[in-house]
Chain A
Amino acid sequence: MKTVLVIGGGVTGLKAASELAGMGYNVSLVEKEDYLGGQVAKHKYYKLAPDLRLAGDVLDPVIKAVESNPNIKVQKHSQIIAVSGGAPEFKAKIKNSKGESEETFGAIVVATGFGHFDPTVKQEYGYGRFKDVVTNAEVEEMLNPNGPTKGELKRPSDGNIPKKIAIFQCVGSRDRQVGNPYCCRVGCVVSTKQAIEIKEKYPDSEVYVYYMDMRMFGRGWEELYGKAMEDYEVIFTRGRGAEVTLKNQQLSLRAEETIMDRPIQHSVDMIILAAGMSAGEGTIDAAKVLGIKQNDYGFLSPKDDFLSPNESSKPGIFIAGADKGPMDIENCIVEGAAVAAKVAGSLKN
């Protein structure tokens, strides 16, 4: 029986590994960090849209399915540094703290995922200059009771709970200036979810969302958007956050209220940047090591977007999840299962 190499221990890789093991294949799961769960674990995602269920409710069973399966060998803190050969026999060099080793695999699944866009390059937003300008990932960590602030939303500058909060949509997405003209696909619903969480925890706070379009295409997303407006009085302003300055120790933002046709300035206590998704470091490394095709933004290109969505440009190497482009957790799990089926089919031939 051939062994399958799964690169990446995020939700997609975990799901692919457990599905393949369930079909009787041996799986070697290689993860560069010393924990499983990818970005969900790294940034301590607290609740998931649209049901506001705990992220752990979803992630823990996926991790457990991998760790409890004797057919899966998990190698944390490890990286693939070179791959030779081709389908159906790949030789991969795996490097970890103990040294290098070489193993043979019948197929490779690349599930290296995404990275959170670093908003430092959008200098006009002041991220990195103004302490109270934070990212949506940082807010997840704060809202999580196991996070650095024990579940409280606190201003990094003085530790106080902010009263007026503005959320900027499309930071590093739909933006040619930073080379990311694509939509991040999750920012709208994540911000709406965070706005609701904040209003639920601090009913006296005011939450303003500055957006271009609210793209609520997922299951239950539009309903969540309605709930945010009707039940939680979150204020959605149509106009992209344009600039942040500090006036008398208070954050001041500029935007255009595009429905009323007027430029506005707004003083707030905290600004959350809904930073989008970019190709993860692991994805860029994997593309280099494996020699598979990337698109203009660094994400991995399927052989055919419609007909072979989980096959890379090279036979025997499969791709799945957010390394192909922005994707939510729900769909990453679907992708993990889909790629497992494709791999099993290819190994049978």
Chain B
Amino acid sequence: MSEENKNPVTEKIESAKGGHFYKEIMKDFRIKESLHGCLNCGTCVANCPAAAFYDYSPREVCQMIIEGDEETIEEYMKGKIWNCAQCYSCKYRCPKENSAADIVMAMREIAVREGLAAEALAGYTRIAKLVLTRGNQLAPDMLSPDAFPDWGPRMIELSSKKMEMREELFEGFPGMNVVDRAWAAEDYTIYEMQKIWEESGALEKVGTVFPFLVDIVQDDMEDKKDEMEAKIQEKKEKLEASKK
């Protein structure tokens, strides 16, 4: 059949299965455990909290992997899989004991590795930055009432006084009376955490999604370096001494 005569709607492209992303996904050890065919019964979707609110369907995820169309997989890795809440309801209800949640988890890792996740995760930049620089996920400052109109006027009023309230609430608890993070971790703890991320390669992975955050973390580490390395040395010596 010549190219012009192909019907774009009904034509199934034979070579669509077996592309790079499909192969990467099938290589993951979790897939074999998580997909045993699909009855299309809809139990997973009916139980899925994400499916109730977002454009996401665990049944579709299973069907998509079974079909293995490269373009669809890429599209999913850029978008829909990030709507899953990883609650695993699908796994514990599926009559075939499939686990869309595990498939999604494997796909997310591959999406990060392959640089497909940046757009879907852009909304999490502030959270990632806070985790990497302060060791917190969320700060009271990030929960602006403007973003949550359903909180109502009372919350707007309370929000304007949150610093005073926290100071009063956590009097005598240093580190808790802050609003730019949930609590203040010690500099040394944060530095240690950052070092682990750097050594383990986690920071590099973060860089595939948030490239500028790597610089921010490295600058942050550089600032504290001399003081913290001295502290580490001191701890090491203490440890050695205790061994003797």
Cβ-defined contact, B93 with A124, below 8 A: yes
Q: How far apart are the CA atoms of A265 and B211 in the complex, in Å?
A: 43
Q: How far apart are the CA atoms of A177 and B92 in the complex, in Å?
A: 8
Q: A176: CB under 8 A from chain B?
A: yes
| A124 nearest CB neighbor, chain B only | B93
Q: How far apart are the CA atoms of A242 and B39 in the complex, in Å?
A: 14
The interface stretch among A145-153, A184-192, A255-263 is A255-263
Cβ-defined contact, B47 with A176, below 8 A: no
Q: How far apart are the CA atoms of A243 and B42 in the complex, in Å?
A: 11
Cβ-defined contact, A174 with B94, below 8 A: no
Q: B57: CB under 8 A from chain A?
A: yes
Cβ-defined contact, B59 with A256, below 8 A: yes
Q: A330: CB under 8 A from chain B?
A: no
Interface size of A in residues (CB-CB distance below 8 Å): 20
With A243-B47, A263-B48, A263-B51 known to touch, is A257 a contact of B96 (CB < 8 Å)?
no
Q: B214: CB under 8 A from chain A?
A: no
Cβ-defined contact, A212 with B39, below 8 A: yes
Q: How far apart are the CA atoms of A243 and B45 in the complex, in Å?
A: 11
Type the 1/0 row for B231-242, where 1 means its CB is closer than 8 Å to any CB of A: 000000000000
With A242-B93, A263-B51 known to touch, is A174 a contact of B46 (CB < 8 Å)?
no
Q: B97: CB under 8 A from chain A?
A: yes
B60 to chain A, nearest CB (A): 8
* Residues of chain B lying within 8 A (CB to CB) of residue A255: 42, 46
Q: How far apart are the CA atoms of A337 and B46 in the complex, in Å?
A: 46
Type the 1/0 row for A233-260, where 1 means its CB is closer than 8 Å to any CB of B: 0000011101100000000001111100
* Residues of chain A lying within 8 A (CB to CB) of residue B41: 170, 212, 239-240, 256, 258
Q: Which one of B36, B39, B45, B60 lies within 8 Å of A174 (CB-CB)?
A: B39
| B52 nearest CB neighbor, chain A only | A263
* Residues of chain A lying within 8 A (CB to CB) of residue B48: 263
Q: A175: CB under 8 A from chain B?
A: yes
* Residues of chain B lying within 8 A (CB to CB) of residue A264: 46
| A237 nearest CB neighbor, chain B only | B42
With A254-B46, A263-B48 known to touch, is A177 a contact of B95 (CB < 8 Å)?
yes
A124 to chain B, nearest CB (A): 7
* Residues of chain B lying within 8 A (CB to CB) of residue A174: 39, 95
Cβ-defined contact, B43 with A240, below 8 A: yes
Q: B189: CB under 8 A from chain A?
A: no
Within 8 A of A (CB), among B40-86: 40-48, 51-52, 57, 59-60
A97 to chain B, nearest CB (A): 43
Q: How far apart are the CA atoms of A154 and B48 in the complex, in Å?
A: 33
Q: How far apart are the CA atoms of A177 and B43 in the complex, in Å?
A: 12
B78 to chain A, nearest CB (A): 21
| B46 nearest CB neighbor, chain A only | A242
Q: Which one of A124, A175, A176, A239 lies within 8 Å of B42 (CB-CB)?
A: A239
Cβ-defined contact, B59 with A258, below 8 A: yes
* Residues of chain A lying within 8 A (CB to CB) of residue B52: 263
Q: Which of A174, A254, A256 has the most CB of B within 10 A?
A: A256
Q: Which one of B36, B42, B93, B97 lies within 8 Å of A258 (CB-CB)?
A: B42
* Residues of chain A lying within 8 A (CB to CB) of residue B57: 261
| A176 nearest CB neighbor, chain B only | B97
* Residues of chain B lying within 8 A (CB to CB) of residue A242: 42-43, 46-47, 93
Q: How far apart are the CA atoms of A170 and B95 in the complex, in Å?
A: 10
With A239-B46, A263-B48 known to touch, is A258 a contact of B40 (CB < 8 Å)?
yes
Interchain residue pairs with CB less than 8 A apart (11): A170-B41, A176-B96, A177-B94, A212-B40, A239-B41, A242-B47, A243-B46, A258-B40, A258-B45, A261-B60, A263-B52
Q: Which 4 A-B pairs have the closest CB atoms?
A: A256-B42, A242-B46, A240-B41, A256-B45
Other CB < 8 Å A-B pairs besides A240-B39, A256-B46, 4 of them? A176-B96, A177-B95, A212-B41, A238-B42
